[in-house]
Amino acid sequence: QQQVKQSPQSLIVQKGGISIINCAYENTAFDYFPWYQQFPGKGPALLIAIRPDVSEKKEGRFTISFNKSAKQFSLHIMDSQPGDSATYFCAASAMDSNYQLIWGAGTKLIIKP
């Protein structure tokens, strides 16, 4: 019940296209859903996050869509650029678990020029 399932494992998108990564969860106590970007040899960096009281959040080219009833959320990267090539992780946390982040397995995104 603590798992967060992420797909796809890897994704290749042409420059200028839309990259879409999906995550699903089971624990209805989760109340914070961040997306992290990680480059090789670096720590994860917060990209964008959402709480379940909204269905969508947009920051620049990055959008989170959240479907509470389906227990799913997704990251959309518009106008994908080669510099977006990285590994993306979804995560979730809950107050009753001391806000420890439960992570998806990651999606390796490659943007082809």
Partner 1 sequence: NAGVMQNPRHLVRRRGQEARLRCSPMKGHSHVYWYRQLPEEGLKFMVYLQKENIIDESGMPKERFSAEFPKEGPSILRIQQVVRGDSAAYFCASYRDRGTEAFFGQGTRLTVV
Binding residues (CB under 8 A) for partner 1: these are: 4, 6, 32, 34, 36, 41-46, 49, 89, 91, 93, 95, 97-106
- Please state the closest distance from residue 97 (CB atom) to partner 1, in A: 8
Residues 6+ apart with CB under 8 A from 106: 6, 9, 38, 87, 88, 89
What element of type H or E holds 77? Answer: strand 72-77
Q: At its nearest, how many Å lie between partner 1 and the CB of residue 48? A: 11
Q: Which is nearer to partner 1, 44 or 63 (CB)?
A: 44
Alpha-carbon span 44 to 87, nearest angstrom: 9
Measured from the CB atom, the residue of 11 and 102 that comes closer to partner 1 is 102
Cβ 50 to partner 1 shortest distance, Å: 13
Q: CB 32: neighbour CB atoms within 10 A?
A: 15
20 vs 102 by CB, closer to partner 1: 102
Q: By C-beta, is 69 or 98 nearer to partner 1?
A: 98
CB of 6 to partner 1, least distance (A): 8
